[in-house]
Amino acid sequence: MRGREAGASRQIHGLEVAGSSPAPATKNPLLSTTTSFGRIRGFTITLLFHLKGRELRVKDLIDLTGKYRQYVSKYLYRMRNYGLTEKKGPFWRLTPEGDSFLSYIMAIPRGLPTFLASWACLAQNP
């Protein structure tokens, strides 16, 4: 791994997350949060909402999202590297860190971009 030490970890919204090398650490918590949030977006957030409070197989997530197997699997393994998900047998679920991160996203005021509102609807109607 270029530029990373094995077992390196980082913080996302105050949570210690194992995995890839982040942007340089900063003393300003707002900058740290903003930088980290920018790295976890799009389909990753969609999967977080689908996994909220339940365990699903890749097949279930394919049916829910309409994406193909390799696409869903790639995201799940990356999310596992970030410490957001874990796999038990064929089932994927959120880690406590993933659940905490999702709670953080859900606490964002509804007046922010509409795509966040649509993800919040997913969380309320899984």
Give tens-digit pLDDT for 64-98.
999 999 999 999 999 999 899 999 999 999 999 99
CA–CA distance, 106 with 62 (Å, rounded to integer): 23
Residues of the chain predicted below pLDDT 70: 1-40, 109-126
Within 10 angstroms of residue 111's Cβ, the number of other Cβ atoms is: 8
Amino acid identity for residue 70 in this structure? Q
CA–CA distance, 43 with 74 (Å, rounded to integer): 11
The four Cα atoms 18, 23, 26, 29 give a dihedral, to 10 degrees, of -70
Domains, the chain, in order of start with CATH, read 42-124 (1.10.10.10)
Q: What pTM was estimated for this model as a whole?
A: 0.59
